[in-house]
Amino acid sequence: MTLSPIIEAQQLKELLGEEKLIIIDATGTQDALNKYLIKHIHGALYIDQDTELADIKPNVADGGRHPLPTPAVFCQILTRLGISTDSHVVVYDEKNASSSASRFWWMMLAAGHKKIQVLNGGLMAAEKAGLPTDNAFVAPKSATPYLFDAWKLPIVGMQDVAKATNSQQHTIIDVRDAYRYNGESEPIDLIAGHIPGAINIPYSENLGHDGLYLSPETLKVKYLPLVEKYGAENIIVHCGSGVTACHTLLAMAYAGLSIPALYVGSWSEWSRNSMPLILKQ
């Protein structure tokens, strides 16, 4: 039986105490470590978005705001966390998986890890379900070195995206909020606007009013027409820096669809490299 990429808080509660279970707090917002030290799910290990889920360069034009680390570096991080190839890993954040939980999920899946799930609703859902929380820093257990040598999910670079902008066989999904896509304002990067030909499907639309992912059936209705028209292999998903794009890749996987390509550099790289831009009309 294939493991769902999403796990409900009540399901996680029933798994507590299992030997192979490792819970990861991937809150990637500002002051994330302090938030972890104030409150996290009991036993959860902390992972840092900027230093462990990315290899940030001095020049953002070189790969965007959150470039991927190399597989070798990520192997070291997984080993530090005590994660083995047979570990059952559950990751969460405080932003309904849009902070860094979905990015960590994508990286684990791209490393070839089989038992990796995202907690639906994150920390808030965990508390509502009665999972224990505390503020104790958790030291990882020792594990044998985790080894993989290449990312196993599709990744595209800036030139691949440039080719896709001129291809009727490809489509590019921009998951940022509509006001950023429309060029009305840009809170993080230098220029507001979007990649030519990209369509806007904000990642926030993957969630219901309760902050939980929509059902797999609803998400399938949402994304299947694009997969049927272009094929998952011809769909590119991006955001501002390659983090929240994974929220939509997770939604598509939850819907039972093949996972499209991730443009890791995203708008933060594209907009800094004299590439064609669609600005506010």
Q: Which residues are catalytic?
A: 239
Judge whether 111 and 74 are in contact, CB under 8 Å: yes
Closest CA to 26 of 126, 96, 130: 96
Torsion, Cα of 201, 252, 4, 65 (10° steps): -60
Distance CA 207, CA 225 (A): 19
DSSP count for the chain of H helices, then E strands: 11, 12
C-alpha 127: how far from its chain's center?
A: 22
Closest CA to 272 of 160, 156, 190: 190
Give me the amino acid identity at 158: M
Buried residues in 89-124 as b, exposed as e (16+ CB within 10 A): bbbbbbbbbbbbbbbbbbbbbbbebeebbbbbbbbb
Contacts of 92 (CB under 8 A, 6+ apart): 23, 24, 25, 26, 41, 44, 101, 118, 119, 122, 123, 126
Distance CA 171, CA 232 (A): 10
Please give the helix or strand (H or E) that residue 261 lies within, else none: strand 261-263
Q: Which residues pair with 207 in a beta bridge?
A: 213
